[in-house]
Amino acid sequence: MADNENKEQQLITRDQMYSFMKCADEKYHLIGEGFTDLSESKGAKEYSRKYVNYKTEVSDVIGYAPSYSYTCDVISGDPVVDEIVSITDYEKIGTDAHREVITVNGWKPGTTSGTFEAFQRKFAVIPDAKGSGTEALIYSGTLKARGDMVPGSFNVETSTFAPDTSKG
């Protein structure tokens, strides 16, 4: 009998994974209202080779190039949407287009009350398009990693991140 047959299993839904962006006010705001897509691609980099004594190739993961594709309706007054609109409309470059994002696994409680497993990373906001559709004004693009991720915990009540130096 498999080990998981005795454990209660639960389907995790997309709304249990939260993402927060540090905005111009230096506070973390939920990436939520207005966003119809925020999908992560790990962009695993692999090293593949075939050894002389093997019939098949072997592969190893040697790095990552993570990114999030985003699509959002423009909702005036939402801090995260305002950041995306500002970066896109003013064609910001370099560090002016960098933003810190924290992804929270809301189904994995942390070690203290109100906290959950989380990952912090800086991203470059890479705008792609605006104005698609005929109803809501829509902006789209990609958030591309600007360095290594920092594992830790996020307190959803106080919007604070605590790095966990024992992981990673």
* pLDDT per 10-residue tile (average), the chain, 168 residues: 69 96 96 95 97 97 97 96 97 98 96 94 97 89 97 95 82
pTM over 0.85: yes
DSSP 11: P
CA distance 132 to 146: 28
Minimal CA–CA distance to 91: which of 120, 55, 56, 126?
Answer: 126
